[in-house]
């Protein structure tokens, strides 16, 4: 069962490893990103950052979608973490079980605008998020579990 899907450039770090896992009661983290899945060094770093007692799976987007759709992840309280808005949108389009996306940390890049304290989006990302929200996916901005959720429409 998917308990949350979060966009966070940092992937696994203190907020994710402690605050979010605890608040969600997740027992498995799925990092879904093609570059990370193909990079031995990044995978090794994420494995070191993973809290004990929690399973970590690192897959590319297509493999992540296939795993979720196959039902193999259903036995876990699955917390999905992706690196980019693009990854989140592609994952949600491929997995109807993803009903909500938390924009947690999207770093500033050239051509982006700030829509919250920790979230910057490009015009293309904004368009993709609005389209995804139009399909019924609930998109909120929240850094920590205790923070008040800011709805995408309010931020834009």
* Cβ–Cβ < 8 Å for 94, 65: yes
Residue range(s) defining the domain that contains residue 138: 2-155
How many domains is the chain built from?
1
Residue range 91-109: mean pLDDT, rounded: 95
Q: Which residues of 41-67 are buried (b: 16+ CB within 10 A; e: fewer)?
A: ebeeebeebbeeebebbbbbbeebbeb
Active-site residue identified among 2, 10, 12, 13: 13
Weakest-pLDDT range from 7-21, 72-86, 134-148? 7-21
CATH assignment at residue 149: 3.40.35.10
- Look at residue 39 in the predicted model and tell me its pLDDT: 97
Mean pLDDT of the chain: 94
What totals of helices (H) and strands (E) does the chain contain, helices first?
A: 8, 9
> How does pLDDT run across 11-31, given as a tens digit for each residue?
988 777 778 988 999 999 999
pLDDT surpassing 90 at residue 40: yes
Catalytic residue at 13?
Answer: yes
The two tokens of residue 141 are 């901005």
């Amino acid at each position: 069962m998917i308990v949350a899907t979060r966009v966070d450039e940092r992937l696994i770090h203190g907020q994710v490893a402690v605050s979010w896992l605890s608040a969600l009661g997740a027992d498995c983290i799925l990092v879904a990103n093609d570059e990370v899945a193909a990079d031995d060094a990044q995978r090794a770093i994420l494995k070191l950052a993973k809290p004990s007692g929690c399973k970590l799976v690192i897959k590319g987007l297509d493999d992540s979608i296939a795993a979720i759709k196959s039902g193999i992840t259903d036995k876990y309280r699955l917390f999905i973490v992706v690196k980019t808005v693009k990854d989140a949108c592609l994952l949600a389009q491929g997995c109807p079980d993803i009903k909500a996306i938390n924009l947690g940390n999207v770093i500033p890049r050239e051509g982006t605008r700030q829509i919250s304290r920790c979230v910057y989006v490009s015009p293309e990302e904004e368009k993709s998020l609005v389209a995804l929200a139009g399909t019924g996916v609930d998109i909120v901005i929240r850094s920590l579990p205790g923070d008040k959720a800011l709805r995408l429409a309010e931020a834009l």
